[in-house]
Amino acid sequence: MESDHPVSKKSRLDNSVDCEMEEVPSNAVGVKQHLHWTQWQMLDSILPTGGFAHSYGLEAAMQSRMVNNQEDLRSFVIQIMENTGSLLLPFVYCACKSPDSETWVKLDQLLEATLTNEVGRKASVSQGSALLRVAASVFTEIQALQDLRKTFLGSKIVSFHHAPIFGLICGLIGFDSEMTQRSYMFVTMRDVISAATRLNLIGPLAASVLQHQVALDAERMVQKWRDRDVADASQTVPLLDALQGCHAYMFSRLFCS
């Protein structure tokens, strides 16, 4: 039998008030939950953006005997994330903060002038073009993506580099800048480790362990390089740029870069 004790009544009243105060409009909850699904899809390896066709210079590093074992691989992954954070994260951040075509064109042209490594430049263009094509086909509710592709596809104005495209798309579909930058670092880390498994440098289980172990390093890179303007973009590990540039001269290649 339910008690009518004053304390019990007060508790029920407090709980009722708490529930009313915490009530959130159902449409707001729906939008937030839908955004979560979109975030997961952007990070899903099944999204055909072509990222797994590139090793970020790992294949060349292995053939050059710069990376020979799992310990070397861990160091290589951390250096890749460091370089990505210092050079590319500012472009991702600025494109996400101002997801409009005018800002994106300026960022794309600036990155085109910044990348001196021809192999890395072509890889960036290839991945960016594929990402925009996929995003325009998947996120059909974002008309700006279709308009962007129709306007600039085939033009000589832009090159469709990956970092600005990634930031632009994330900004248009509702990601905040912090989530966007962390996502870009995750995708980079994931793709490098995936390349290592296909090069038989590491097994799938060991790759998962490595990804978990370097997560703290990835977060440190995000905190170190986040929210920076493109004027602060810089190359911090030039040896990686040189290694990736050697990829085109290898006799036998599994990856495009």
**Best CATH choice for the domain 54-249 from the list 2.60.40, 1.10.4190, 1.10.3470, 2.40.50:** 1.10.4190
- Domain positions in the chain are 54-249
Average pLDDT for 161-174: 94
**In contact, 67 and 73? CB cutoff 8 Å:** yes
pLDDT at 24: 43
If 0-12 CB within 10 Å is exposed, 13-18 middle and 19+ buried, where does residue 246 land? middle
Per the CB < 8 A criterion, the answer to whether 146 and 132 are in contact is: no
Is residue 152 within 8 A of residue 16, CB to CB? The reply is: no
For residue 53, the model assigns a pLDDT of 83
| Segment 85-98, tens digit of pLDDT | 999 999 999 999 99
Least Cα distance to 92 among 46, 121, 124 occurs for: 124
Cα–Cα distance between 156 and 117 in angstroms, integer?
20
By the 8 A CB rule, do 52 and 257 touch?
no
CA 69 – CA 182 distance, rounded (Å): 27
Q: How far is the C-alpha of 149 from the C-alpha of 169, rounded, in Å?
A: 12
Q: What is the pLDDT of residues 221-245, one digit of tens each?
A: 999 999 999 999 998 988 888 888 8
What gap in Å lies between CA 85 and CA 114, rounded to an integer? 15
Q: How far apart are CA 158 and CA 34, in angstroms?
A: 31
Least-confidence region, from 26-30, 130-134, 135-139, 229-233: 26-30
What tens digit of pLDDT does each residue of 17-66 get? 343 444 544 454 555 677 778 878 888 877 777 767 889 999 999 998 99
Look at phi and psi of residue 12 and say left if phi exceeds 0, alpha if psi is from -120 to 50, else beta.
Answer: alpha
**What was the pLDDT predicted at 128?**
93
Which of 164, 183, 166 is closest to 103 using CA atoms? 164
